[in-house]
Structure 1
Amino acid sequence: MTSGSEVYLDAASSERLHPAARDTLLAALDRGYADPRRLHRAGRDARLLLDNARAVVAEALDVRPDEVAFTASGTDAVHRGLLGLTAATGRDGIVHGAVEHSSVLHAATWRPAPASAAVGVDSTGRVDLDAMAAAAREPGVGAVALQAANQEVGTLQPVDDLDLPDDVPLLVDAAAAVGHVPLPRRWSAMTASAHKWGGPAGAGVLVVRRGTRWTNPFPGDDGLEEAGGFPNVPAALAAAAALQAVLAERDEVAARQYALVERIRATAGALPDTEVVGDPVARLPHLVTFSCLYVGGDEIVGELAQRGFGVASGSACTASTLEPSHVLAAMGALTHGNVRVSLTRDTTAEEVDAFCAALGEVVTGIRERAGL
């Protein structure tokens, strides 16, 4: 690591822009500026680019192009997707896992309904499928939300094993999983966010399967494509290019990251009074979270930053406030002193080794200064 550089280990918050996305974005800025709904030449050109982006994303996700819509963010996609499902069913109740992203939690409480329920998880963060299926059968439930993988601890959820009533649609938040692991197959709507896979920020994806009842829950046109307003055509095209490139290299990158994360898990697990959380096997390949007793997470993050390592702490959904993690609390894990490390596609073994060495020194040093 050269002087003044930082080893960025917070890819779960936002991955670096993929070279394919950067090149495409720069080219699209000159062509995709117009309103794709207009009939003049610039509008038709923008429409062509947007349709191309939609087709690429559809192929990557193995869905139909007319099932794909671009939104302003992954959070926007979740809100539109989940609330659109309940609006179409006429039932406001939302059943969701207790460890879902804050966007799901906010949607579930936006229009409070007695039938809404947060379903508990085990110590690895995996949801109780039987309890979720039972809750989904309660009167007034209009939709169920279950993530493909947890954004804080990396645990994969057994989405395809969930048995729901035919009239209760399922939204899968796949933001943490896209580009890293194969996606679930059984869902009614799915959401993702481009900056998680190396695309630009400001490009979310909402997929609604053909035949699923969905209505735009916010003011505006009812059509899926028009629901998000004026589309960011360059961002959509860059997001599609990045997704295509990331999926082409996914298996190789995932295998390398999985092995590197094993090193971090072993290092953290060997520290006294430190708990490594999440499923050790059925997990995202690039992410690990651990909690250190007697040490503040912000202290660890700050000292690691001084040594040139960028990691995260607090709830992954509200990290700016360093609030205790609702995910770890639901798992019954230590919520104080937690650190999340997530590798980029370019993270090297040398960088991981240097981080592991620094981690032990930082945690030990903080505890010694506190007299522990």
Structure 2
Amino acid sequence: MTDSPAVARRVVLDAGGRAPVLPAAREAFLAALDEGWADPRRLHTEGRRARALLDGAREAVAALVGARTEEVDLAPSHTAALHGAVLTVARGRRRVGSAVVASAVERRAVLDAAAAVGASGASGASGASRVPDPSLAGLVAVPVDRSGRLDLAAFADAVARPGVALAAVQHANGEVGTLQPVAEAHAAARAAGVPLLVDAGSSFGHAPVGADWDVLTLDPGDVGALPGVAVLVTRAGVRRSPVPPAGAGDENRWFPGGVSVPAALAAAVALQAAAARAAAGPDPRHALVARLRARVAAEVPEVDVAGPADGRLPHVLTFSCLYVDGEAVVTALDRAGFAVASGSACTSATEEPSHVLAAMGALTQGNVRLSLPVGTTAADVDRFCDALPGVVAALRRDAGLTDL
């Protein structure tokens, strides 16, 4: 009797927005199921215990970002946090105007919410110190360069125009990894008297976020928390107003119904672990992504590797293969034992072309997006790079292309 051949371990290279759950986060969740199962709005002992755990989670998150506990709100998802940030700040500043200035590579949640602000006619300028520009309403998209980096001059010009309620610049792009000039954008927004929303959902725990923001979102799921909780932090002095009917008759006027107490504890633990890991020293995934960039560009014909080689997140890479469909590449790689993604990081389920790559002027066909989990090894990367050229070549042959 002979031994059966060993089955190769699957290689997961898709941890963007939903990383494997950290053991410490799972333990916190399970412990809180016993201690924090009750409704934190109740006045009995069990309810007060759950409330203490929930407040403790908010306090822990506040300490990580240099905020006060009362400035931290917990949302049921990162999308909800971004929607809530854009809509409530725009509503709170509707006397100023109804324009939201945002980079063209923000998440769809930001871009769609900004467009909704304009569609709802949120402006009402009576009493405003400046007369809003009548042509300025809803989303004002600011272009980026070929690396996906914000055009600062265009951004500064846009936020300085009358009628801007909010500006939004992501800390880093979760699709191509580009770090944005957030400090300079914040200075420009502050000079114009406009609050800046910084989406750090793809970067917290991977790169230093800093304090150059007025409104901040975090995605604990990106660093190993369980689903069901995201973070919205609003500096004191930023005016927000609930969007009806949200908040009517509910203790939590920003996210009615609240969040799971055990999930909130797990989120705080995952964010603490991510912050500690980032502070411990250089991220070894930088070298792995550099190796991926070099091998993919050298070994796959007709490929476009997006984003800069430097000034980027340590774990994210996107490339596009000409003459093949991105979903077909993902499916073929999955059969070969590799989990990767395709399309925009925030709209891949729709199979629509990436608005991020389109804004950069990059190739959107045959798009493959990698997001390396913590613990990815050089062997994992080399196995992927060894398999990729053959997978792409086979798909091109199936499409009748044999001369590449």
TM-score by length of 2: 0.88
**Preserved contact between residue 254 and residue 286 of structure 1 (Cα < 8 Å):** no
1:269 aligns with 2:319: no
Instruction: State the Cα deviation string for residues 69-95 of structure 1 (Å, max 9, x = none).
Output: 100111111111111111111122111
2:206 counterpart letter in structure 1:
H
1:58 counterpart letter in structure 2:
A
Per-residue deviation, 1:17: 0.6
Of 38, 44, 55, the residue aligned with 1:40 is: 44
Of 237, 242, 251, the residue aligned with 2:270 is: 242
Q: Which structure 1 residue ranges, 5 or more long, are not aligned?
A: none
**Preserved contact between residue 220 and residue 230 of structure 2 (Cα < 8 Å):** yes
Per-residue deviation, 1:2: 5.8
Counterpart residue number, 2:389: 360
Counterpart residue number, 1:155: 178
Per-residue deviation, 1:167: 2.5
After superposition, where does 1:113-132 map in structure 2 within 5 Å? Answer: 114-115=135-136, 116-132=139-155
1:213 aligns with 2:243: no
Counterpart residue number, 1:65: 69
After superposition, where does 1:275-286 map in structure 2 within 5 Å? Answer: 275-286=304-315
After superposition, where does 1:97-246 map in structure 2 within 5 Å? Answer: 97-112=103-118, 114-115=135-136, 116-162=139-185, 163-164=188-189, 165-221=191-247, 226-229=253-256, 230-246=258-274
Aligned-residue Cα RMSD (Å) equals 1.9
> Hey, what's the Cα distance between the residues in 1 that align with 2:272 and 2:357?
33
After superposition, the Cα gap between the structure-2 partners of 1:347 and 1:218, relative to the gap in structure 1 and judged at 3 Å, is farther
Counterpart residue number, 2:91: 87
Instruction: State the Cα deviation string for residues 310-340 of structure 1 (Å, max 9, x = none).
Output: 0000122111121100000000000001100
1:9 aligns with 2:13: yes
> Hey, what's the Cα distance between the residues in 2 that align with 1:253 and 1:304?
32
Per-residue deviation, 1:251: 4.7
> Hey, what's the Cα distance between the residues in 2 that align with 1:359 and 1:218?
50
SS at 1:143 equivalent:
strand
**Preserved contact between residue 291 and residue 336 of structure 1 (Cα < 8 Å):** yes
After superposition, the Cα gap between the structure-2 partners of 1:255 and 1:264, relative to the gap in structure 1 and judged at 3 Å, is same
> Hey, what's the Cα distance between the residues in 2 that align with 1:333 and 1:298?
18
After superposition, the Cα gap between the structure-2 partners of 1:322 and 1:221, relative to the gap in structure 1 and judged at 3 Å, is closer
Of 347, 368, 371, the residue aligned with 1:318 is: 347
**Preserved contact between residue 72 and residue 203 of structure 1 (Cα < 8 Å):** yes
Per-residue deviation, 1:219: 2.5
**Preserved contact between residue 228 and residue 259 of structure 2 (Cα < 8 Å):** no
> Hey, what's the Cα distance between the residues in 2 that align with 1:57 and 1:320?
30
Of 14, 20, 23, the residue aligned with 2:24 is: 20
> Hey, what's the Cα distance between the residues in 1 that align with 2:265 and 2:45?
18
2:47 counterpart letter in structure 1:
G
After superposition, the Cα gap between the structure-2 partners of 1:318 and 1:48, relative to the gap in structure 1 and judged at 3 Å, is same
**Preserved contact between residue 207 and residue 313 of structure 2 (Cα < 8 Å):** yes
> Hey, what's the Cα distance between the residues in 1 that align with 2:247 and 2:114?
23
Aligned residues: 372
**Preserved contact between residue 159 and residue 184 of structure 1 (Cα < 8 Å):** no
Per-residue deviation, 1:182: 0.3
**Preserved contact between residue 159 and residue 192 of structure 2 (Cα < 8 Å):** no
> Hey, what's the Cα distance between the residues in 2 that align with 1:345 and 1:12?
11
1:147 counterpart letter in structure 2:
Q
Q: Which deviates the most, 265-274 or 304-313? A: 265-274
> Hey, what's the Cα distance between the residues in 1 that align with 2:58 and 2:166?
26
Q: Which deviates the most, 329-338 or 180-189? A: 180-189
After superposition, where does 1:295-310 map in structure 2 within 5 Å? Answer: 295-310=324-339
Q: Which deviates the most, 140-149 or 254-263? A: 254-263
SS at 2:175 equivalent:
coil
Could you list the runs of 4 or more consecutive aligned residues of structure 1 that deviate by over 3 angstroms after TM superposition?
220-226, 251-254
Instruction: State the Cα deviation string for residues 157-211 of structure 1 (Å, max 9, x = none).
Output: 0010121244211101110111100004221101121111111111110000112
TM-score by length of 1: 0.95
Counterpart residue number, 1:291: 320
Per-residue deviation, 1:366: 2.1
